[in-house]
């Protein structure tokens, strides 16, 4: 079992942190092998960025994500750049409020999670990535909730653990009730 995941958006959304938390949850708390890579533009905020995680029960010989099984997308630019990379039959989890211009997608399951709006309701837009991580766990069932929660506590700034765990819970609950839009292969 090899699963390739790509988180994508722009700098300042916590995209890199999401990948770090997922890889930590899988490897340290989940008993799986995981590798995380990241790339971002020269801008620290506002530029395109992605964080990729490969999770496997076996050794990971190639650490790069080529065709993500799951694409989490939180900006229009990332949507435009990475949608065509998703593996046939793969899963896309997107924040519709951050992606005003969608196109028809073939042979993927699309879940729309208003992570930014949910984060704003919690009082901090900056935790939208953790809301999305909660939805990711509920939708994919890839990792145990306890493993992710432990990784969140270890990887967020001290003093923000409770807020981030609340964001995870909101995203998880939303993800459990989320229905996919499936578009068959044309």
pLDDT, position 45: 64
Q: What are the residues whose beta carbons fall under 8 Å from the beta carbon of 31, sequence distance 6 or more? A: none
Q: What is the pLDDT of residue 131?
A: 98
Residue 94 has what pLDDT?
96
The one-character DSSP state at 87 is: P
**Domains with residue ranges and CATH for the chain:** 2-183 (3.40.920.10)
Contact 67, 82 (CB under 8 A): no
Q: Give the pLDDT of the chain (186 residues) as one tens digit per residue.
A: 899 999 999 988 999 999 999 999 999 999 999 999 998 766 556 677 999 999 999 999 998 999 999 999 999 999 999 999 999 999 999 999 999 888 877 789 999 999 999 999 999 999 999 999 999 999 999 999 999 999 999 999 999 999 999 999 999 999 999 887 765 443
pLDDT score for 186: 38
Question: What secondary structure, in 3-state letters, does 100-160 show?
Answer: CCCCCCCCEEEEECCHHHHHHHCCCHHHHHHHHHHHHHHHHCCCCHHHHHHHHHHHCCCCC
Contact 152, 130 (CB under 8 A): yes
* CA–CA dist 123, 17 (Å, integer): 19
The Cα–Cα gap between 163 and 161 comes to: 6
CA–CA dist 90, 127 (Å, integer): 25
| Per-residue model confidence (pLDDT) at position 40 | 78
**What's the pLDDT at 179?**
80
pTM metric for this prediction = 0.92
């Amino acid at each position: 079992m090899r699963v390739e995941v790509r988180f994508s958006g722009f700098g300042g959304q916590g995209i890199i942190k999401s990948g770090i938390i997922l890889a930590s949850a899988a490897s340290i708390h989940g008993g799986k092998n995981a590798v995380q890579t990241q790339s971002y533009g020269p801008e620290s905020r506002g530029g395109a960025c992605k964080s990729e995680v490969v999770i496997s029960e076996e050794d990971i010989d190639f650490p790069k994500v080529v065709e993500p099984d799951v694409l989490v997308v939180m900006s229009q630019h990332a949507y435009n750049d990475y949608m065509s990379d998703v593996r046939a039959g793969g899963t896309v989890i997107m924040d519709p409020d951050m992606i005003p211009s969608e196109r028809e997608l073939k042979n993927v399951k699309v879940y729309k999670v208003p992570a930014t709006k949910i984060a704003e309701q919690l009082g901090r837009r900056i935790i939208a990535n953790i809301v999305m991580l909660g939805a990711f766990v509920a939708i994919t069932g890839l990792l145990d909730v306890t493993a992710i929660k432990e990784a969140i506590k270890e990887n967020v700034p001290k003093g923000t653990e409770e807020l981030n765990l609340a964001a995870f819970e909101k995203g998880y609950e939303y993800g459990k009730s989320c229905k996919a839009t499936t578009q068959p292969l044309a």
